Amino acid sequence: MKNVTRDNIKNLLIPLPPLAEQKAIVEKVDYLMKIIDQLEEQIKHRKQLAEDLMQTVLREAFE
């Protein structure tokens, strides 16, 4: 952008929450990331179960 210079950005004040609040945010994000990891593992496991079940059904149908 024409009106935004490097000096404008360097001198820009960005407010940050207090350190205690920053730490609380990090803890919450870490907690949520663990939940996401667990859910991803459950999805992988359930996909494998579905594939195994389909193979079993097909095997039974053609025997």
Q: Taking the CB of residue 58, how many other CB atoms lie within 10 A of it?
A: 10
**pLDDT tens for residues 2-61?**
788 988 999 999 999 999 999 999 999 999 999 999 999 999 999 999 999 999 999 999
Three-state SS string over 8-50 comes to: HHHCCCCCCCCHHHHHHHHHHHHHHHHHHHHHHHHHHHHHHHH
Q: What is the CA radius of gyration of the chain?
A: 25
* Per-residue model confidence (pLDDT) at position 2: 79
pTM equals 0.67
